[in-house]
């Protein structure tokens, strides 16, 4: 295998990690379950085990068959009927939970809204009726481009209620990226807002959407949420008569009586686009019964959520973590979910800890990149606030370095909170590899072992088991992706064709297993970058660069970054007659941000008259990564022109980061 750059030495450091953290006794004593036998029970009867989880949900019609597995296509709970919104809301209205806070939301400027389960059910039902009024029917696609406001969850649940398929597009994506996603899914309605707050600024979402809407013929209506009382004025929001409608106008007139549509277990719940190894993001398709079963189960066991917990996942709803662990998993559990709109350092670097103290957050789930930023800002920020309510911490999105883990444990968790390092992907829908905080002895940097019922192993190129190689999932799981929207062939090729053995899923990550059986996920082995926990395809950035009139060719690689994990470095060959300049560096960075979104803005751009290529014309990314990281050059004998690299490397060292 080709391990991601630097993983060998990184791994040696990791495996020297010998600190062990057994589950605290009091935590174990109060957990839903505390018995290790759950692993064996799941192994003995995998289908019975998942069926027992599914039985916790409310079904309109029970399934006839737990699993129909025709690799790579799986159907879970075949013949069953249920509705996700019904499970997340209606089910909780009959007992004391009806008056419990489902959602506690704080905007960046400090405005607060709390929705009980009753409130949330009412507003979701009203909005569901409003969508119906706009002609949205079961199976139609609805694009959602919203900031982190309650309406994001409401819109998702409203779609689920009527059987419309939502496609949430992260608010940081550009108009072009939004348009691509709308067009790929052929969405009829777009739900957006006049703006959203980020680090004291207003992101003009409707203005971006208007730009996207120039090239999205399928959109019939745009629903606009008025985020703040003066945002529309500052962002100069304009409404196109008939097409554009204010959310509050629709809600005002809508009935709160909207029966939940009975959905087939395999009906599609949502599409979520994610970066792959080509320039085109993939529309990952998730269905209903299996997805809800696994997100429900993992939320319950990994976060051990109880009635009195206040649970906060800091992800954005535009990512899978927001779908599964802000909205569906926690609400299916009847939990109280905290949601925050803005940046962690606004108005100061203590904002997250202030929020934890203010709302008494007990379970906190974030990303390693955020933890590394907190570390850098210093422990004086968390120390200013009372974090004594916290009882469990989680991380997701990228490998966590042991230093960050230990810092998180000490300064956020007060050395009393277990940490769950959860490995999973957009494609897996739910958590796959994770400690169970009530039984697992954790090791900083290791996601430990598969969740009960999940089977993962490490394989080499030839498909032989190994203790260092590619991560592989060797059995179907309920929340697995069902296909790529409109491209089942790509689904087969990308995930199910790496090895001959049918039904072996290739996630694209490298991993090692230590002598205790703990898994250490090392990161991507394909051309996908992980920048601050966001997946970005090198090809996407390359296409955006080549789209600029001055650029002939571009090669993009990840460069080690102490906070973001990886940063984007681009090697660019200019067209004849174009000269390298500082202005062009600035212009190219801005161009990429404009084409894809700010998350894809390269950190470093280096001009080069030529790029290192193999004799067959493939760009040698490994060498470019070495150069970007300032490492010694690897083997260059397969290069067409070894001189190219030597010159590039010398220049990079002389000029440093432009
Ligand atoms: C949930 C999410 C998926 C990729 C995945 C990995 C990396 C995620 C961990 C991790 C090491 C972890 N979905 N990744 N979690 N690597 N340890 N606990 O992040 O689709 O956006 O990204 O993220 O490389 O393939 S995602």
**Domain containing 573 — which CATH number?**
3.30.300.30
Q: Whose CA is nearest to atom 8 of ligand 1?
A: 397
Domain annotation covers residue 401: no
**Number of folded domains that form the chain:** 2
- Residues of 248-274 as b/e, b for ≥16 C-beta within 10 angstroms? eebbeebeeebebbebbbbbbbbbbbb
Please state the atom number of ligand 1 nearest to the C-alpha of residue 507.
25
Run of H or E including 115: strand 112-116
Kindly give the parts of the chain with pLDDT less than 50: 1-7, 658
Same domain, 448 and 533: no
Same domain, 568 and 635: yes
Same domain, 479 and 539: no
Block residue for tokens 């990314």: 621
Q: Which of 170, 160, 169, 168 shows the shortest CA–CA distance to 139? A: 160
- How far is CA 20 from its chain centroid? 28
378: Cβ contacts below 8 Å, ≥ 6 apart: none
Same domain, 291 and 179: yes
**Phi/psi class of residue 445: alpha, beta or left (left: φ > 0; alpha: ψ in -120 to 50)?**
left
CA of 535 from ligand 1 middle (Å) equals 8
Which of 530, 531, 532, 565 should be mutated for ligand 1, with most atoms under 8 A from CB?
Answer: 530
> What is the rounded CA–CA span in Å between residue 528 and residue 278?
9
Residues 75/324, Cβ–Cβ less than 8 Å: no
What pLDDT is attached to residue 12? 56
Please state the atom number of ligand 1 nearest to the C-alpha of residue 524.
24
Please state the atom number of ligand 1 nearest to the C-alpha of residue 528.
24
What pLDDT is attached to residue 329? 98
Domain annotation covers residue 592: yes
CA of 529 from ligand 1 middle (Å) equals 11
Same domain, 547 and 479: no
CA of 371 from ligand 1 middle (Å) equals 15
Same domain, 102 and 240: yes
Which of 299, 317, 394, 397 should be mutated for ligand 1, with most atoms under 8 A from CB?
Answer: 397
Sheet holding 519-524, edge to edge: 456-459, 468-473, 509-513, 519-524
What is the DSSP track for 563-610? TTEEEEEEEEEEPTT----HHHHHHHHHHHHHHTBGGG--SEEEE-SS
Beta strands in 333-443 (DSSP E): 336-340, 363-366, 392-395, 419-421
Which of 398, 495, 511 should be mutated for ligand 1, with most atoms under 8 A from CB?
Answer: 398
Domain annotation covers residue 496: no
The pairing of strands 604-607 and 565-574 is: parallel
Same domain, 448 and 324: yes
If you average pLDDT over every residue of the chain, what do you get?
Answer: 93
CA of 381 from ligand 1 middle (Å) equals 27
Residue 219 belongs to domain with CATH number: 3.40.50.12780
Please state the atom number of ligand 1 nearest to the C-alpha of residue 321.
1
> What is the rounded CA–CA span in Å between residue 389 and residue 239?
45
Domain annotation covers residue 467: yes
Domain annotation covers residue 205: yes
Query: Where do the H-state alpha helices sit in 101-244?
Result: 117-133, 150-162, 175-185, 205-213, 231-234
Q: Whose CA is nearest to atom 2 of ligand 1?
A: 425
Which range marks the domain in which residue 618 is found?
A: 528-655
Domain annotation covers residue 222: yes
**pTM exceeds 0.85, yes or no:** yes
Same domain, 532 and 481: no
Helix (H, G, I), strand (E, B) or coil at 389: coil
The tens digit of pLDDT for each residue in 195-220 reads: 999 999 999 999 999 999 999 999 99
Same domain, 215 and 103: yes
Same domain, 316 and 171: yes
Which of 424, 473, 532 should be mutated for ligand 1, with most atoms under 8 A from CB?
Answer: 424
Q: Which of 538, 462, 530, 466 shows the shortest CA–CA distance to 500? A: 462
The pairing of strands 456-459 and 468-473 is: antiparallel
Please state the atom number of ligand 1 nearest to the C-alpha of residue 434.
18
Same domain, 610 and 461: no
> What is the rounded CA–CA span in Å between residue 395 and residue 401?
11
> What is the rounded CA–CA span in Å between residue 155 and residue 138?
15
Please state the atom number of ligand 1 nearest to the C-alpha of residue 521.
11
Q: Whose CA is nearest to atom 19 of ligand 1?
A: 397
Residues 17/445, Cβ–Cβ less than 8 Å: yes
Domain annotation covers residue 252: yes
| 3-state per-residue secondary structure call for 27-51 | HHHHCCCCCCHHHHHHHHCHHHHHH
CA of 346 from ligand 1 middle (Å) equals 26
Same domain, 122 and 188: yes
Q: Whose CA is nearest to atom 3 of ligand 1?
A: 425
Beta bridge partners of 607: 572
CA of 424 from ligand 1 middle (Å) equals 5
Which residues have CB under 6 Å of ligand 1? 274, 319-321, 396-399, 421-426, 447, 507-509, 521, 523-524, 530, 535
Question: In residues, how long is the chain?
Answer: 658
What pLDDT is attached to residue 649? 81
201: Cβ contacts below 8 Å, ≥ 6 apart: none
Domain annotation covers residue 236: yes
CA of 527 from ligand 1 middle (Å) equals 14
**Residue 164 DSSP code:** P
CA of 396 from ligand 1 middle (Å) equals 6
């Amino acid at each position: 295998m080709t391990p991601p750059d630097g993983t060998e030495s990184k791994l040696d450091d990791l495996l020297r990690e010998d600190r062990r953290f057994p589950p605290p006794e009091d935590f174990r004593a109060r957990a839903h379950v505390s018995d290790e036998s759950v692993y064996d029970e799941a192994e003995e009867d995998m289908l019975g085990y998942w069926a027992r989880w599914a039985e916790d949900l409310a079904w309109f019609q029970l399934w006839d068959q737990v699993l129909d597995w025709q690799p790579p296509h799986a159907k879970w709970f075949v013949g069953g009927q249920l509705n996700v919104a019904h499970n997340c809301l209606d089910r909780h209205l009959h007992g004391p939970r009806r008056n419990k806070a489902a959602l506690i939301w704080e905007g960046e400027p400090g405005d607060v809204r709390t929705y009980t389960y009753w409130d949330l059910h009412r507003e979701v039902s009203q909005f569901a009726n409003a969508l119906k009024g706009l002609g949205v029917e079961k199976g139609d696609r609805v694009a959602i481009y919203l900031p982190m406001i309650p309406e994001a969850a409401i819109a998702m649940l409203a779609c689920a209620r009527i059987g419309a398929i939502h496609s949430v597009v992260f608010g940081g994506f550009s108009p072009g990226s939004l348009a691509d996603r709308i067009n790929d899914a052929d969405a009829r309605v777009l739900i957006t807002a006049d703006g959203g707050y980020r680090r004291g600024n207003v992101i003009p979402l409707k203005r971006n959407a208007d730009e996207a809407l120039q090239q999205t013929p399928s959109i019939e209506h745009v629903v606009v949420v008025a985020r703040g009382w003066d945002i529309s004025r500052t962002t100069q929001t304009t409404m196109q008569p008939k097409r554009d409608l204010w959310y509050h106008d629709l809600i005002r007139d809508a009935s709160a009586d909207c029966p939940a549509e009975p959905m087939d277990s395999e009906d599609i719940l949502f599409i979520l686009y994610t970066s792959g190894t080509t320039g085109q993001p993939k529309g990952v398709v998730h269905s209903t019964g299996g997805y809800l079963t696994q997100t429900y189960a993992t939320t319950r066991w990994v976060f051990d959520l109880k009635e009195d917990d206040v649970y906060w996942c800091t992800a954005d709803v535009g990512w899978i973590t927001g779908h599964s662990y802000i909205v569906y998993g926690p609400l299916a559990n009847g939990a109280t979910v905290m949601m925050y709109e803005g940046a962690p350092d606004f108005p100061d670097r203590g904002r997250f800890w202030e929020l934890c103290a203010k709302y008494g957050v007990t379970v906190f789930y974030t990303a390693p990149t955020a933890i590394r930023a907190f570390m850098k800002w210093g422990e004086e920020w968390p120390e200013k606030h009372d974090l004594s309510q916290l009882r469990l911490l989680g991380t997701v999105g990228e490998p966590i370095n042991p230093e960050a883990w230990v810092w998180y444990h000490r300064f956020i968790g007060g050395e009393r909170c277990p940490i769950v390092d959860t490995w999973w992907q957009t494609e897996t829908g739910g958590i796959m590899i994770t400690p169970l905080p009530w039984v697992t002895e954790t090791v900083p940097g290791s996601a430990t072992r598969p969740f009960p019922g999940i089977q993962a192993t490490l394989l080499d190129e030839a498909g032989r088991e190994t203790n260092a190689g590619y991560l592989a999932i060797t059995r179907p799981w309920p929340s697995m992706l069902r296909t790529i929207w409109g491209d089942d062939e790509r689904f087969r090729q990308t995930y199910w064709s790496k090895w001959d053995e049918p039904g072996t899923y290739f996630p694209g990550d490298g991993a090692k297993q230590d002598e205790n059986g703990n898994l250490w996920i090392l990161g991507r082995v394909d051309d996908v970058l992980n920048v601050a926990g966001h997946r970005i395809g090198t090809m996407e950035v390359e296409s955006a660069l080549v789209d600029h009139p001055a650029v002939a060719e571009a090669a993009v690689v990840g460069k080690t970054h102490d906070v973001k994990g990886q940063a984007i470095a681009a090697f660019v060959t200019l067209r004849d007659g174009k000269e390298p300049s500082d202005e062009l560096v600035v212009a190219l960075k801005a161009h990429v941000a404009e084409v894809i979104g700010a998350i894809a803005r390269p950190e470093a751009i280096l001009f080069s008259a030529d790029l290192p290529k193999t004799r067959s014309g493939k760009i040698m990314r490994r060498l470019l990564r070495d150069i970007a990281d300032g490492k010694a050059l690897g083997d260059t004998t397969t290069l067409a022109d070894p001189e190219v690299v030597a010159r590039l490397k010398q220049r990079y060292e002389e000029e440093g980061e432009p």
